[in-house]
Chain A
């Protein structure tokens, strides 16, 4: 069979499962006694083993198999959970991710064996026991001595809880081993009859081998079940012996262990025991799954019905919608249409529909920031270990959505900021204690929508940024004269952090401080038409604020006129439009400014910046577009406002890519090309 067609699905699903594993491991680290988390990890490892085995990735399958055995031992309490095991499991996760990356890149898992990991796991398994696997289970609580292979198993925590609860409620719990006649022809059918009989008088909570295996005839001639019943052993024995083709029946009581905190969730299932004749011997499995599901997935959001779509197809759809909007705009602009009432009302309908389609397509492209954020807890965990600091990462607003194109790009700058906070922001525990702060540092990463923007904040409660230190560095590096440096405001100083090659860290670490960083963050964010700003207070902490547009492809813009040329300015960059008299423009330190509501706003003359010959005459009034970039405002002087419209952004092509002050172009209804101003580079 050709497996290639399944490769994409395999990759997607493995990715999801690994993410799941990552999350569960982090939870396990915090909560090592929680059996449901262990169950979830076991489930993931099992799924991965199955999938990779099917696809013929034997190394991956081997690793997950060994992991599974360790997890099984942990589940059975034959191995005690400790930190080193979690660390080892994390390393296994890394190895699995490595395999996956290799599969993505080359369609093959590569040749790395990770034998150090499998060896370490194998040593752990030796330390514990083989768990549910039929070989050598230690005696545990069972007084059951028999030569029967299938009878040698331990109940797991959950099953034991059920047993304990049932015993408390006055039920009998038996282990029943049935040996079928060797001459039995349809052994699964015979087994089925036995199951039916047992179920008539009791509830089966475990079966070895599993019910599916018995149904598929994957067993020798014997099987063992654990049942909860009101009946006596003799009675059950009699009933089973009445069935033909049965050689032996052995029944023994299962003891309840001292109650070690029965999980609240199991009470419901136990109550069901009074209900006889519940169809399906797979009940045990179902109950376990349900219990695991309710407990571990409570925190996780449920995914609805979904279809996986190639991002290229979405891009194509998006392009078509863009074309549709352009054509609609063109229709709107036609004289004939404006004359006819009937046509123009239909055009209005068309407008409404295109807007809706646009919104719908946009929504399809939206991805929750969670997909980027979810790798950060692990990262912070590793960094904090590396640095020997105690750091807690708190994430909020992970469901906030952003356009796919933005999501793909935002990870790297965020990693940078988080590392920065962990390394420079959060102080070592002693220093924090001395400063009267909790020993564990806190980094919070939050996302939320604000109008047409999504804001992502990275905040730490660390030492803050010493702006006086920046002031000294600025002079040292010759970025500003000593005289001028005295006048730099707090905000101006902080802005220097984004200058290439500027780092205030006294020592360079592996994590950050090489001075290549914040400038890269800034240019990346700006290439996404976003902005980044900083707030800091010495001793209290630092907050980086990233502002991103919701969507990149289509947005509302203001069309302005400069001389005889037209330019578009994204509405999300515009604070307001005002008119001023020439006399209101003042000059402060060679910079033209205006005063608005007590705020000094620097003036940018677009005609000069855009290389248009300035007109000699001074108009009676200036039209000023107040634009915003982060916290900063600027006034752009234009010659007129043409109007507001929905524009489809197009890039200028490879040849003109990166032209200063121009973010792209758009095509108007009349077919003419209008350039979009890049407010970020203008200001």
Chain B
């Protein structure tokens, strides 16, 4: 367990990439937005799609699929942007679909070790089990670094 024992539950927002379900802690999430136009930023890393205008604030938009080494996917009516924010750094990540919120007991979270060598591993903080669903829990802070 990587968090303190005092925290018995974690509040997550879960979303879907292809058929897999992922979760990010609610306290790191500022908004969920529908897909919106973005402006490409030349010279930025390839997983940065560009920047968006989030009510007057310029926010980088990130392709989580690209960052995980997955194929890019066409935007559809389910596509959402999750705005992550921590320590004054803000970024949006594009997900296939937002599923909902979920409370998960610390005891139901297992840490994953880096035995799987795929690109996504460094973003993962653990795996949660809820009613036979397995949810990959992501570390929001890791997305807020280049």
Q: Which residues of A are in contact with B by a Cβ distance under 8 Å? A: 323, 326, 565, 609-612, 650-656, 659-662, 665, 667, 671-675
Interface centre among A610, A655, A660 (most CB of B within 10 A): A655
B residues within 8 A CB of A667?
53, 56, 58
Top 8 closest pairs, chain A to chain B, by CB: A610-B42, A673-B39, A654-B89, A611-B42, A660-B43, A665-B58, A650-B58, A655-B60
Cα of A650 to Cα of B55 in the assembled complex, Å: 13
Closest to B90 in A: A653
The answer, yes or no, to whether B35 is at the interface (CB within 8 Å) is no
Evaluate contact between B89 and A653: CB separation under 8 angstroms. yes
The answer, yes or no, to whether B59 is at the interface (CB within 8 Å) is yes
Cα of A323 to Cα of B57 in the assembled complex, Å: 11
Evaluate contact between A659 and B44: CB separation under 8 angstroms. yes
A residues within 8 A CB of B43?
610-611, 659-662
Evaluate contact between A673 and B38: CB separation under 8 angstroms. yes
Which residue of B37, B38, B41 contacts A652 across the interface (Cβ within 8 Å)? B41
A residues within 8 A CB of B53?
667, 671-673
Give the Cβ gap from A613 to chain B, nearest Cβ, in Å.
Answer: 12
B residues within 8 A CB of A665?
39, 51, 58
Cα of A653 to Cα of B92 in the assembled complex, Å: 12
Of residues 93 through 130 on chain B, the ones whose CB sits less than 8 Å from some CB of chain A are none
Cα of A611 to Cα of B46 in the assembled complex, Å: 12
Evaluate contact between B89 and A655: CB separation under 8 angstroms. yes
Evaluate contact between B59 and A653: CB separation under 8 angstroms. yes
Evaluate contact between B41 and A656: CB separation under 8 angstroms. yes
**For the complex, would chain A's binding face be called helix, strand, loop or mixed by DSSP majority?**
mixed
Give the Cβ gap from B98 to chain A, nearest Cβ, in Å.
Answer: 22
The answer, yes or no, to whether B146 is at the interface (CB within 8 Å) is yes
- Known: A655-B89, A656-B51. Is A661-B56 also a contact (CB below 8 A)? no
Evaluate contact between A652 and B58: CB separation under 8 angstroms. yes
Give the Cβ gap from B15 to chain A, nearest Cβ, in Å.
Answer: 20
A residues within 8 A CB of B135?
none
- A–B complex contacts, Cβ < 8 Å, 7 sampled: A655-B48, A656-B48, A662-B43, A674-B39, A675-B41, A675-B42, A675-B51
Give the Cβ gap from A312 to chain B, nearest Cβ, in Å.
Answer: 15
Evaluate contact between A655 and B91: CB separation under 8 angstroms. yes
Evaluate contact between A323 and B52: CB separation under 8 angstroms. no
Interface centre among A323, A609, A675 (most CB of B within 10 A): A675
Interface centre among A323, A610, A659, A672 (most CB of B within 10 A): A659
Evaluate contact between B56 and A672: CB separation under 8 angstroms. no
Which residue of A565, A650, A653, A672 contacts B60 across the interface (Cβ within 8 Å)? A653
Closest to A661 in B: B43
Interface residues on B, range: 20 to 34
A residues within 8 A CB of B144?
655
A residues within 8 A CB of B59?
653
Closest to A562 in B: B42
The answer, yes or no, to whether B40 is at the interface (CB within 8 Å) is yes
Give the Cβ gap from B29 to chain A, nearest Cβ, in Å.
Answer: 16
A residues within 8 A CB of B38?
673
Cα of A565 to Cα of B51 in the assembled complex, Å: 13
Give the Cβ gap from A606 to chain B, nearest Cβ, in Å.
Answer: 9
Closest to A651 in B: B58
A residues within 8 A CB of B88?
654
B residues within 8 A CB of A675?
39, 41-42, 51
Evaluate contact between B57 and A655: CB separation under 8 angstroms. no
A residues within 8 A CB of B146?
655
Closest to B146 in A: A655
B residues within 8 A CB of A610?
42-43
Evaluate contact between B57 and A650: CB separation under 8 angstroms. yes
B residues within 8 A CB of A326?
56
Give the Cβ gap from A400 to chain B, nearest Cβ, in Å.
Answer: 32
Which residue of A650, A651, A659 contacts B41 across the interface (Cβ within 8 Å)? A659
Evaluate contact between B56 and A673: CB separation under 8 angstroms. no
Cα of A675 to Cα of B48 in the assembled complex, Å: 15
Which residue of B37, B40, B48, B56 contacts A565 across the interface (Cβ within 8 Å)? B40
Cα of A665 to Cα of B52 in the assembled complex, Å: 10
Evaluate contact between B40 and A652: CB separation under 8 angstroms. no
Give the Cβ gap from B43 to chain A, nearest Cβ, in Å.
Answer: 5
Closest to A565 in B: B40
- Known: A650-B58, A665-B39, A672-B37. Is A656-B89 also a contact (CB below 8 A)? no
Give the Cβ gap from A54 to chain B, nearest Cβ, in Å.
Answer: 39
Evaluate contact between A673 and B52: CB separation under 8 angstroms. yes
Interface readout for B58-82 with A: 1 if CB under 8 Å, 0 if not?
Answer: 1110000000000000000000000
Give the Cβ gap from A321 to chain B, nearest Cβ, in Å.
Answer: 13
A residues within 8 A CB of B40?
565
B residues within 8 A CB of A659?
41-44
Evaluate contact between A652 and B51: CB separation under 8 angstroms. yes
A residues within 8 A CB of B52?
673
Evaluate contact between A653 and B42: CB separation under 8 angstroms. no
A residues within 8 A CB of B145?
655
Closest to A323 in B: B56
A residues within 8 A CB of B90?
653, 655
Closest to A327 in B: B56
A residues within 8 A CB of B58?
650-653, 665, 667, 673
Give the Cβ gap from B118 to chain A, nearest Cβ, in Å.
Answer: 23
